[in-house]
Amino acid sequence: MATLLETDAVLKRGLDALTEADPVMARLAASGIMPQLRKRPPGFEGLAWIVVGQQVSTASATAIWNRLRQRLEPATPEALLRLSDEDLRMAGLSAGKIRTLRAVATEIAEERLPLDRLHDLPADEAHNLLTRVKGIGPWTADVYLLFCLGHPDAFPSGDLAVQEAARLAYGLEQRPDAKALTALAESWRPWRGVAAKVLWAYYRAVKAREGAPV
C-alpha cells in the first residue's frame, strides 16, 4: 500500500502521479486547484465524530459532538456503552445515530472491528470491514479511511460534491452515480483519495465563483 496521507509531501506525490496519468487532473492542478491534507484523529473518537456529523450542518454537528464528548470521558467504546439512550438523546443524537454508535462501540469492544489495523489493509478490504457494522454505510467508511487514517486510495464515490465535481471537470452530461464514479476512478489507483480531495477542492472553487455557499 502507498504511504499514508500524513504529510503534504505525500499528498504532493499523489497529486504528481495523478497529473501524469490523467490530463483532466493535470488541467485542474495547472489552474490552481490544490487539495488539502485535513486529517482528524483515527480510532473510535474519529469514527464517532463522522457518524455524529452525518446529514447535519457543521455547526450542529459540532454542538452535538461537544455535548456528547462531555459525557464521554475518556472517549472510548466502553464509555459510550455505559451511557443510557437518554444520555445520548440529551446530547442531541437521533435514534438512528444512537443505534449506529452502539453498534460501532460493541464491534470494537468485542474485537470484531480492528480499527487499529485498518491502515494496513487495502482500501477496499478496510471499507468492507467497516460497512459490515450496522449503520455504517459506504460514505461513512470511506470518509473515515480518508480523513482519519489518511488512506491514499479510499474513495467516497457516493459523495454528491465529488460526483458533481467529476461531472463538471470531465464534461459529463449528467452527474455520475457511485457505480459510474467508481469506474471512472479506476485509473486513479492507488491515489483515489487524493483525486477525491482534488475534486472537493474543485467543487469549492466552482461554487465560490458562482457565489453559492460551500
What is the distance between the alpha carbons of residues 49 and 178, in angstroms, rounded to a whole number? 24
The residue type of 12 is K
23-30 vs 8-21: helix crossing angle, rounded to 10 = 130
pLDDT band at 214 (very low <50, low <70, confident <90, very high): very low
Q: Is 93 helix (H, G, I), strand (E, B) or coil?
A: coil
* Assigned C-alpha cell, 117: 489495523
**What is residue 2's predicted lDDT score, i.e. its pLDDT?**
53
pTM of the complete model: 0.87
What is the distance between the alpha carbons of residues 201 and 162, in angstroms, rounded to a whole number? 9
176-186 pLDDT, tens per residue?
999 999 999 99
9-30 pLDDT, tens per residue?
999 999 999 999 999 999 999 9
Q: How many CB atoms neighbour CB 54 within 10 A? A: 16
81-115 pLDDT, tens per residue?
999 999 999 999 999 999 999 999 999 999 999 99
Rg (CA), the chain: 18
**What is residue 213's predicted lDDT score, i.e. its pLDDT?**
39
Percent of the chain with pLDDT over 70: 97
**What is residue 212's predicted lDDT score, i.e. its pLDDT?**
43
- In this predicted structure, the answer to whether residue 1 has a pLDDT above a threshold of 90 is no
pLDDT band at 57 (very low <50, low <70, confident <90, very high): confident
115-136 pLDDT, tens per residue?
988 988 998 999 999 999 999 9
Q: Average per-residue pLDDT in the chain?
A: 93
Q: Rounded mean pLDDT of 61-65?
A: 94
